[in-house]
Structure 1
C-alpha cells in the first residue's frame, strides 16, 4: 500500500482486517511506511491473538518479474519461520532484520540510498552526453569501473541503454516519483528522530518533492529524474 494512512485504514477501518481476523493469523505487510505504524499494527494484531510482520520489498519491476525480490522482515522468529516459505516464492533474498519495525528501517535506508544514487547516475549521464560521450559507451565504462551501482547497471535512466525498463516507455510504470518522495520523507523523519546526519538524503528528498508536485513528472517512474535534470540544463542555455 502507498503510505501509512492506507495501511491503518486497511487494518483498522470499518471493514478492516482486524474486524474479523482469526486467531493465529499471520499478517505480512510489504508496504513501505512509518516504522511506528508497523509497531502499532503489530500490537493490535497481538491483542487479537494474531501476528504481524513488516516485510517491505525491494528490487524493482525486473526483479519482481523474475522472482528475485528482496524482502526485509521485522518480527519474532516464529513469525519469520512461517512467513519465509511464502516470501521465498517471490524473492531470492528473504532477510530477518529483527523485531517488528526493523524491516521498515532497512527499507527506508535502502531507498534513501537508491534515490541518491539515481540522481547521481542521472547527473553523470547528462554531463557525459553534454561532453560528447555516447550514453551506451559511458554506461559500459561506469558499469566496469568504480562508479558501478544498481541505478546504472540494472536501471540506467537513459532511454536505450538497457532494454525492458520504464525509461524506454517514456518512464511509464515502475516505481513512481511520488512514492520515492514519500520514502525519502520517511527517511528524513527517521533521521530527525535519531539525530542522524543525512545531507544527501535531504537534497534527494527536495528534488523528488519537486518531481512529485510536477504534473509532468509525478506519475512517472523515479528514473525520470534524469529527464528532469536534463530539462534544467537545457533551459539554462
Structure 2
C-alpha cells in the first residue's frame, strides 16, 4: 500500500482517486473547489485544506488539473515537500511546453515524474478503464505503472518527457475531426431521407467505422450509452474538446506542421463553445452543425 496525494478532484480526478482507494492505497486529496472535494465524500479519500499537505509523507502525488500554468503552480508547491526518489504524475491535458517544464522542476528536486494524460472520459474514470499515455523515463514509468493500473486498463509508455501530452493532443485531434465527419454524415443522410439506424448499421461495419461513431454516436438510438440519448449530458464536454484542439493547433504552429482539418475542427468547436455548447457533450456538435446549415440556407434564401 502506498500513500498517494491527489490534487484535482473533479469529474475525472474524483473517481480516479476513489479507484486508488479501492486498490488499497491511502489517498489524501485536495481541490481548490470545496464542492469538487465533496464529490469524493464516502470514498475514504481524506480531504485536506492545503495543497502542500497532500505531499506530506506521500510516496506519490497525482495531479488532474485544467491548465498548464495551474499544474506548474501545484507542482511548485508540492515538490519541496516530496522526498527525493518519490514520484509525481500529471494526468491533466496541458500544453507540451508546460509538461516539459514540470518535468524539469521535478528533476531539480530529485523526484521521478511522468506526464500521463488519459482517454476514456468520465465513464472510464469511474469504471477504472482509462487509457494512460505516459511520457517520462523508463524508471518513472515502471514506478508509476502499478498506480496507473488501479485507475486504467491500458497504460502506454509513449516516450520521453512530454510524449504523453503529444500523444493525447494528436489522439483528440483525430477524435474531434472524426466526430465532425460523423455528424455531417448523419445530417446529410437525414436530409436525403435515410434512416439513422440504417446509416449506422452500414458505417459501423464498413469503411466509415470509427470510435466517434460506434461509441459516441451523435444521434439518439443506435448506441444506447451515447450522450445523444441523455440530451448530450457530457461524458466528454465540448469545452474540453475545444481546449484540446486549441492546444493541438498551438503545437502545430510551434513546429510548423500544416493541419488544415485540425484547424477547421478547432474553429468549429470553439464557435460551438462560444454559442452555448460548453456544457454539452462533444457529440452535440451535430446540433451546432445542423443549426449552422439552417442559418446558412436561410441567408441564401434571403439573398436570392
SS at match of 1:92: strand
Residue aligned with 2:79, SS = helix
- Per-residue deviation, residues 4-40 of structure 1 (Å, max 9, x unmatched): 122122222xxx2224222222111111111111111
Task: Trace 1:70-219 onto structure 2 (pairs within 5 A).
Answer: 70-214=131-275, 216-219=276-279
Q: State the match for 1:32 in structure 2.
A: 93
2:41 counterpart residue number: none
SS of alignment partner, residue 212 of structure 1: helix
Is residue 72–residue 107 contact of structure 1 (8 Å, CA) maintained in 2?
A: yes
| Contact preservation (8 Å) 2:234, 2:282 | no
Q: Which residue is equivalent to 1:11?
A: 75
TM-score after normalising by structure 2: 0.73
- 1:2–1:179 Cα contact (<8 Å) kept: no
Per the TM alignment, residue 82 of structure 1 is displaced from its structure 2 partner at its CA by 0.8
- Quote how far apart the aligned CAs of 1:65 are: 4.0
Structure 2's unaligned 5+ residue stretches are 1-64, 299-304
For the residue of structure 1 that corresponds to 2:277, the secondary structure is coil
Report the CA distance between 1:194 and its aligned residue.
Answer: 1.5
- Is 1:2 the counterpart of 2:62? The answer is no
Q: Which has the higher contact order (CA 8 A, sep 6+)?
A: 1
Paired residues in the alignment total 233
Taking only aligned residues, the RMSD between alpha carbons, in angstroms, comes to 1.5
3-state secondary structure, aligned to 1:147: coil
CA distance in structure 1 between the partners assigned to 2:143 and 2:102 by the alignment? 18
Give a deviation string over 1:91-144, Cα, whole Å, max 9, x none: 222111111100111110001111000000000011111111111221111000
Query: After TM superposition, where is structure 1 displaced by more than 6 Å over at least 4 residues in a row?
Result: none
Q: Per the alignment, do residues 44 and 108 of structure 1 end up closer, same or farther by CA in structure 2, a change over 3 Å counting?
A: same
- Provide the rounded CA distance (Å) in 1 between the counterparts of 2:117 and 2:167: 9
1:149 and 1:64 map into 2 onto residues whose CA distance is 22
Distance 1:19 1:165 in 2: 44
2:99–2:162 contact (8 Å) kept in structure 1: yes
Paired residue secondary structure (1:53): strand
